[in-house]
Amino acid sequence: MATRSFIARYNPDTEDYTAIYCHWDGYPTGVGATLKDNYSTSASVDALMKLGDISSLRDTLAETMTEAYPAFRGDTDVDAKSFRWKSDMIDYYRNMSCEYGYIWQMTNWQCFELDPREIDLYADHLTNEAANV
């Protein structure tokens, strides 16, 4: 069964958000750990956003590219989406049955369980499913 999530970037110049959907392994020890370990620069996050919606997040951008919906399934209208407000973005993805959200804040990742309770990715939560959240 899929653990859906969204991956977003806060854009400080325009004070808005850019986000993509990720279908598989959205929990903190899946997508969360992969983001923290492999996508912790603004350049890598920007490149990830350019792929659009993805089936799953892999350790490298090249691997993830094969999971991007345009390349993987030939889908259209799956580009990254823009949101003016964080609450609108969270509501949009909650309505898509996403369970977790990840937002790049220019130097670190924030993780939200879409109840929405914030989880600190930089604490030791990743070793025990976000402290049994």
The pTM for the full model equals 0.85
H or E element: which one contains 50? helix 42-51
User: For the chain, how many structural domains are there in total?
Assistant: 1
Which range of residues forms the domain containing residue 89?
Answer: 5-124
Would 95 be classed as within a structural domain?
yes
Would 133 be classed as within a structural domain?
no
Can you give the pLDDT of all 133 residues of the chain as single tens digits?
Answer: 689 999 999 999 999 999 999 999 999 999 999 999 999 999 999 999 999 999 999 999 999 999 999 777 778 889 999 999 999 999 999 889 999 999 999 999 999 888 645 555 554 444 444 433 3
Would 132 be classed as within a structural domain?
no
Q: What is the spatial distance between Cα 115 and Cα 123, in angstroms, rounded to a whole number? A: 20
pLDDT the model gives residue 114 = 84
Would 131 be classed as within a structural domain?
no
pLDDT the model gives residue 54 = 96
Would 74 be classed as within a structural domain?
yes
Would 37 be classed as within a structural domain?
yes
pLDDT the model gives residue 120 = 53
